[in-house]
Amino acid sequence: MKKVIVHSKLPVTLIGAGAFSQEFVKEALRHAPCLVAADGGVNVAVAMGLVPEAVIGDLDSASEAALSAVPKDQIWPVKEQDTTDFEKCLARIKAPVILAVGFAGSRLDHLLAVFAALARYPGCNCVVIGDEDVIFLAPRVLSLDLPAGTRVSLFPLGPVTGRSEGLEWPIAGIEFAPDGRIGTSNRVTGPVTLSFDAEKMLVLLPRDCLVAAIEALVPAD
């Protein structure tokens, strides 16, 4: 069991070192005001005039200048090389939801590693924000408030089955698997409810559905 470093009652914005618009960070911080940097993400944060509440990672990409702007007791080196910095953060953050910015750039190997980490940490409620999409691992039951016609893509990270309401092409009876059936480009017809027999399904929504994704993962009391 890994020690939790950031235990926040507020949603967390997790910033990485990948390419992204600064507007993404500003938008994420409106919904998730606790800022955490993954390794070289601290360089980006400090360049934007932001000081993370924690820096987590092996610190091989974090500059000395950026680290000097962060109080020493908020820097948490994790020197093992068996996991990515993104996974190191997921394992050590406990928050209602994590909005991850700077992890969906042009490096496909990095993006695949992000998906693998999401599969290993079900229940972390992490939404990865990209240029075109928001991506998250679905819990076993999920309700989405989306306009009719919205694209909903489902990509299995392992064998998984489920049921759906409010999708043009229902998923009941389909045995999803990475080397079998996937669910690209379904469409919303009404209020969406999804249920799965395992937490192995990625949900991909258009970028402007970020709020709907947050509300689905952290329903209001």
**What is the number of domains present in the chain?**
2
For residue 180, CA distances in Å to 59, 89, 91, 176, 177 come to 38, 31, 30, 6, 5
Amino acid at 65: A
Q: Is residue 10 part of a domain?
A: yes
Cβ–Cβ under 8 Å, residues 140 and 122: no
Please give the backbone phi and psi of residue 215, each rounded to the nearest 5 degrees, phi first. Answer: -65, -30
Same domain, 109 and 174: no
For residue 42, CA distances in Å to 52, 94, 120, 164, 215 come to 7, 19, 24, 40, 28
Return the bridge partners of 75, or none.
Answer: 55
Same domain, 45 and 103: yes
Same domain, 115 and 163: no
Same domain, 62 and 35: yes
Same domain, 17 and 105: yes
Q: What is the pLDDT along the chain (221 residues), one digit of tens a residue?
A: 578 999 999 999 999 998 788 888 999 999 999 999 999 999 999 999 999 999 999 999 999 999 999 999 999 999 888 899 999 999 999 999 999 999 987 788 889 999 999 999 999 999 999 999 999 999 999 999 999 999 999 999 999 999 999 999 999 999 999 999 999 999 999 999 999 999 999 999 999 999 999 999 997 65
Same domain, 51 and 77: yes
Q: Is residue 212 part of a domain?
A: no
Same domain, 50 and 114: yes
Same domain, 123 and 147: no
Q: Is residue 99 part of a domain?
A: yes
For residue 56, CA distances in Å to 78, 110, 159 come to 7, 17, 32
Q: Is residue 208 part of a domain?
A: no
The pLDDT of residue 130 is 92
Residue ranges in the chain assigned as alpha helix (H): 22-31, 41-47, 64-68, 85-90, 108-120, 210-217
The pLDDT of residue 3 is 86
The pLDDT of residue 221 is 53
Type and span of the H or E element at 201: strand 201-206
The pLDDT of residue 80 is 86
Whether the pTM exceeds 0.85: the reply is yes
Amino acid at 147: P
Same domain, 121 and 152: no
Cβ count near 95 (within 10 Å): 23
Q: How far apart are alpha carbons 31 and 50 in whole angstroms? A: 16
Same domain, 38 and 74: yes
Query: Residue 101 maps to which CATH number?
Result: 3.40.50.10240
Q: Is residue 209 part of a domain?
A: no
Domain encompassing residue 59 = 6-131
Q: Is residue 206 part of a domain?
A: no
Q: How far apart are alpha carbons 129 and 55 in whole angstroms? A: 19
The pLDDT of residue 21 is 82
Same domain, 14 and 118: yes
The pLDDT of residue 105 is 76
Same domain, 31 and 65: yes
Q: Is residue 94 part of a domain?
A: yes
Q: Is residue 190 part of a domain?
A: yes
